[in-house]
Amino acid sequence: MEKAPRSNDLRTRVGGQSGLERRPLVHVRLDDVDHRLLAALAEDARLANNALAQKVGIAPSTCLARVRRLRDEGVLRGFHADVDPALAGRPLQAIVAVRMHGAARSRLKAFLRELAELPGVMNVYLLGGAHDFFVHVAAPDSDGLNDFVIENLSANPGVALTETNLIFEHVRASWY
């Protein structure tokens, strides 16, 4: 029996039926052990609990409880595979800046969700500033990128402008 998603569950906040509601920002108190756990998981999210506990210097039962709390409180939003787009058949990456028409502003959040579901879209950012979105796309070739922009963005009546910037190299930062 599947349990109901928690209010801070990523499915509820982003991909679920309820969309992108704003959650009240609640500061979660993190101590040095929590920060070490987050750094270790950011480096390798596949670490087994025993290995993670040993790396951080705590008991496995403590480690399990702390990781569970970090997930329950929304600090850890999920665990992800870092797929190489080139090796997966999409070697051409771009950031496409999108500006919407003023009349389409009421659909920004819905369009954000629609963009995130398109094939080849790696990330979508809703912005403040000159552009409304940055869409990180991986395509098989320049024709595929061109087709993506024309069919999914330029053809949309709410889109006023697109600007495509090719990515020559990407290095995943370990920010934590």
Q: What is the pTM of this model?
A: 0.76
Domains present along the chain, CATH in parentheses: 10-72 (1.10.10.10), 92-167 (3.30.70.920)
| 3 state SS of 123 | strand
Distance CA 129, CA 134 (A): 11
Mean pLDDT of the chain: 88
- What confidence score (pLDDT) does residue 6 get? 39
- 5 pLDDT more than 70: no
- What confidence score (pLDDT) does residue 23 get? 59
- What confidence score (pLDDT) does residue 149 get? 98
- What confidence score (pLDDT) does residue 123 get? 96
Distance CA 76, CA 4 (A): 18
Environment class of 117 (CB within 10 Å of its CB; exposed 0-12, middle 13-18, buried 19+)? exposed
Distance of CA 163 to CAs 95, 98, 133, Å? 8, 7, 11
Q: List pLDDT tens digits, range 105-134.
A: 899 999 999 999 999 999 999 999 999 999
Q: List pLDDT tens digits, range 22-62.
A: 556 678 899 999 999 999 999 999 999 999 999 999 999 99
- What confidence score (pLDDT) does residue 27 get? 83
